[in-house]
Structure 1
Amino acid sequence: MFLTFFNMKSYTTCLLLIGLNSWFFPNDTEAQETAHGRIYLDQNKNGRFDAEEPGIPSVLVSNGEEVVASRSDGSWQLPVRAGQPLFVIKPSGYQSPLTENQLPYYYYWHQPQGSPDTEIPGLAPTGPLPGRINFPLHWHEEPERFEVLLFADPQARGMKEVNYVSHDVLEECMGTDAAFGITLGDIVADDPALFKEISESTATIGIPWYYVFGNHDHNRDVSEDEFRDETFNRFFGPSTYAFEYGKVVFLVLRDIHYSENGRYTSRYTESQLRFAKNYLEKVPLEKRVVILQHAPIVRTEGREELFRLLEGRPHTLSFAGHTHTMRHVFLGPEHGWQGDSPHHHFINATVSGSWWVGLKDETGIPHATMNDGAPNGYSLVTFDGTDYRIRFKAARRPSSYQMNIHLPDDIPARQLKNTLVIANVFAGSEKSSVSMRIGTAGSWIPMTFDPREDPLNTWMHSLDAYLEQTLPDGTRVDEGLGWKMDPPQVSGHTWSALLPANLAIGTHRLEVHTRDQFGQEYRSYRIFRVRE
């Protein structure tokens, strides 16, 4: 029996033949078989290996642990057990076929018995291992400079919030120049039945999209950890995988794992660490390695084993979501990192902000301000060779909207010496410089990095009281959902400075300027008055 990839019009049929992680027998050596296949250049893009189509050498293929390179004719061979995936690690200069929902299709699941029977299906039985499993690739021009859309936690509860995602974020991304997008987990809020709708909406942006497994993406109908991600696998493929673009390699690790009582922890399994080790041994040092996972790496059990694999490399970076805050973390010895220079870990802004809660605006979408006072949104990451920069984008706001300035509108002159200016620079970090001045010719006053609760965020939380109002017929204003913001958290990107005590009575202009670690500069202004 031969298996190859069908035309993408038959992708739905293909999905019935693939699977992941079910019926996994880690110690059953008798269940191990040998898989064979070929990586080939699909010149006519029909999804089938035709005799005249050449094999592609030196392409990496994995079973989720071992990693091998295809031979000169594109052929490969790997051991495989029931429940394991077989997948291509997309090399630079090539593209795996895309489904109609812009999902890269690069894998085969050896899952003879399929997933356990659940209300929301996992993977269908694949039957016996095919005699050959052939993976197609297409030529794809990949410049060293490219941009990535980086989402975290769309976390849609029901179709109403799928529509929030669409109108608040996706529509403004149409026409993007980004090469592809990534969602860092919590695609939905405990309802994997919505994977179809949210991936269809995201696909309308028109670029390839990669997904990470989050703690709200699991199937609650099963208790065993190895089955929890199988609905995710049916829609998006393996939850641990890798792909390459330009001079960057992206290593996706499923860090969310469950105990039988349903509690989750962020950790790496031995199998995942073996995959990371075997893959990174084949990645040249001149490439940048980017780790993608859901929860912040500083919370992840087993991170020090991963750090040992990364510390000798000159170019590393990692991204996560999960916290509904935004933060740049520079890992050092206190985090278990022993590299010569700190490792940059970026906790991305969330699309859902604070879980799509708060009073609604004139379009019917909640303000959803994140717990650190930053607006909901996403990031744009630009890679140029191994260099990179990160730029935050607030949902439905101009790209220049990068901070809020907190200062009373009217200040008595006698209180000037005690009046604090607070700037929440949404994507700022300890490596940012922030300063302020009064007017257009005043001296610049350095502002001090001063983590604290955002005053505006604290006030906005007080408005949650209005969500508890009921109409005369007993209907709640919030339609009975009762979703409120979590208590405000200390922001990791606020700065402060005292106003000059000698300002004249009258109206003044305050300007705040920031320059981040990438050299990106932003300005914001606030008008205030000094009175007798």
Structure 2
Amino acid sequence: MKIKSVVLLCLVGIFSFTIAAQQIKVSGIVFEDKNKNGVKDASEKGIKNILVSNGEEIVLTDKTGAYTINASVGSSVFPIKPSKYSVWRKSKPQIQNTAFLYIDTLLTEYDNLDFDIPLVPHFEQKTFRIGAIGDIQMKDYQEINYANQSIISELMQRPDIDFNIFMGDQINETLDILPSVTQMIESLPMPSWLLLGNHDRNVLGTNRQDDVFNRYFGASHYAFNYGNVHFIVLNNVASKGGRDYTGLISDEQLHFIKNDLTHVSKDKIVVVCQHIPMVYTRNRDAFLDLVKDYPSVLVLSGHTHQISRYILAPNVHELGVGASCGNWWVGERDWLGIPTALMQCGSPKNYFTIDFDKNNYKINYKGIGLSADKQMDIWIGGQDTVDTHIEALSQLDKNLVIANIYGGSDSTIVMMQIDGGNWIKMDKTSMVSPSVSRLIYMNNKGGYPTSFSRKGALRKRESPHIWTVSLPTKLSIGIHTIKIYAKDEYGFEVNGSRLFSKTNF
């Protein structure tokens, strides 16, 4: 019996490898779909010199818009959308990458395929705004409700966003809710692009853990243009078997990046999006070598459920965009019944918008349900009596000012002003956010979690965006105004203010 099982498994493995290696010829015409019906009518002409890819190789359409490319089972075929066009979909607005052709691993017949690609003329300015949406990570319909009442309802009210990029982990391994997730995102008033996170994978007995994702969303890596910006979307969640994974860009994708960039002029901003931060990607040096000649490269990532920024090279700036589910939809419920889910870095659940203007960009933190002006929290010693019970806070100098600037980085310069006086430079400090220290105490000794709430899994981990300075020693008794200003060279500039009281205590 054991010998038969081994032989059978070997045969299955050989069959699977043969299927995956089989080359399928995909042919079609890329055309301008003037009447937006998704069909090439007799009066509609093909578009020449459009890039079409199989996820590694890239071909150009001829003067009639025709192309032919070889692809294998489990791969995707897609256009690299040029500026001033959008990808046609029957539904509108839509998840853009659902228009791509996925050659499904479930197919049993592998004939050559016809795949026409309709593109719709679309006015694109060189000044535009995108939403970068980190980990919604819903596992059930309760968490779908949380998302619908928070991040989704907020995006419904953002006509200023031209399109979104969802940074992976749309779900928390519950593949059966993907139809609802698709419907949710397609209900937004702007187009969206999706990429794969480690919790979006099919981890049950498959060689292609992106297969279910691709059935719904077309491809797990691809590229497109918008305005004067070139976007590359990667899948850097490399399986180590089952649920285990590491951050790695496959050789196929490295070849794709190399081939793709031969068609991208050096005056363009290049934006690279993947789930696991590039700083934690094992072969990031190979990626950095491919983009070394581009003066402005922005890397966007999710995964860590905290906001982080890294300078990977003089020309490469990475923004870890945080998580729209915050700390995995846990913590005390607010007045709407939604978990506050404060993240480990002390930031509220969030997303980012990024404004592009020709060859420049500006990043903007946005706390979900909060004013756009809420860019930081400011803690001052001795202001809250609860802090006297918390060892991590009670031992701090009562004249200490702590600013948690949610979008700040090592390159950010932070200044403080008291009562309109001179500006004082603050020091970047490695410490746990006071808000996190307070919640850890409340979880352990202060009565959290309350009924119907779940305990937030917060640890005593340092936040990457804390600045400190001491108050002037000769402040008078009474109420004072503190203002904080932060700015860096990577398009980040914010202000914050609060009042505080100086007492005899």
TM-score, with normalisation over the residues of structure 2? 0.89
Residue 496 in 1 paired to residue 448 in 2?
no
Query: Could you list the per-position Cα deviations for residues 329-355 of structure 1 after superposition, in whole angstroms to 9, with x for gaps in the alignment?
Result: 0114xxxxxxxx241011102101111
Instruction: Within 5 Å, give how 1:35-434 maps onto structure 2.
Output: 35-100=26-91, 102-104=94-96, 105-111=98-104, 114-115=105-106, 125=107, 127-130=109-112, 132-176=114-158, 177-224=160-207, 226=208, 228-332=209-313, 341-410=314-383, 419-434=399-414
Shift of 1:425: 0.6
Shift of 1:201: 2.0
> In structure 1, how many angstroms separate the alpha carbons of the residues matched to 2:503 and 2:415?
21
> In structure 1, how many angstroms separate the alpha carbons of the residues matched to 2:363 and 2:353?
6
Q: Which runs of 5+ in 2 are unaligned?
A: 1-14, 386-394
The equivalent of 1:3 in structure 2 is none
SS in 2 for 1:243: strand
Shift of 1:245: 0.5
The equivalent of 1:6 in structure 2 is none
Seq. identity, %: 31
> In structure 1, how many angstroms separate the alpha carbons of the residues matched to 2:130 and 2:493?
17
The equivalent of 2:8 in structure 1 is none
Shift of 1:469: 7.8
Conserved? CA contact 2:126–2:358, under 8 Å: yes
> In structure 2, how many angstroms separate the alpha carbons of the residues matched to 1:301 and 1:410?
45
Shift of 1:452: 1.4
Conserved? CA contact 1:421–1:499, under 8 Å: yes
The equivalent of 1:524 in structure 2 is 497
Q: Which runs of 5+ in 1 are unaligned?
A: 1-21, 116-124, 333-340, 471-475
The equivalent of 1:446 in structure 2 is 425
The equivalent of 2:487 in structure 1 is 515
Cα 1:410–1:354 shift into 2, 3 Å: closer
Query: Could you list the per-position Cα deviations for residues 152-211 of structure 1 after superposition, in whole angstroms to 9, with x for gaps in the alignment?
Result: 100112111111111112212224211110110011111122222223223332111111
State the AA in 2 paired with 1:477: S
Query: Could you list the per-position Cα deviations for residues 298-338 of structure 1 after superposition, in whole angstroms to 9, with x for gaps in the alignment?
Result: 11122211111100112211110111111110114xxxxxx
> In structure 1, how many angstroms separate the alpha carbons of the residues matched to 2:479 and 2:116?
71
Conserved? CA contact 1:411–1:531, under 8 Å: no
403-412 or 451-460: which moved more? 403-412
TM-score, with normalisation over the residues of structure 1? 0.85
Conserved? CA contact 1:330–1:345, under 8 Å: yes
Conserved? CA contact 2:291–2:297, under 8 Å: yes
Aligned length in residues: 478
Conserved? CA contact 2:414–2:467, under 8 Å: yes
Conserved? CA contact 2:74–2:211, under 8 Å: no
SS in 2 for 1:531: coil
Conserved? CA contact 1:451–1:494, under 8 Å: yes
The equivalent of 1:14 in structure 2 is none
Conserved? CA contact 1:223–1:259, under 8 Å: no
State the AA in 1 paired with 2:201: H
SS in 2 for 1:364: coil
Shift of 1:89: 1.0
Query: Could you list the per-position Cα deviations for residues 192-244 of structure 1 after superposition, in whole angstroms to 9, with x for gaps in the alignment?
Result: 222222232233321111111001111232243x2x11111111110011111
Cα 1:446–1:45 shift into 2, 3 Å: same
> In structure 1, how many angstroms separate the alpha carbons of the residues matched to 2:447 and 2:183?
34
**Root-mean-square deviation (Å):** 2.5
Conserved? CA contact 2:476–2:502, under 8 Å: no
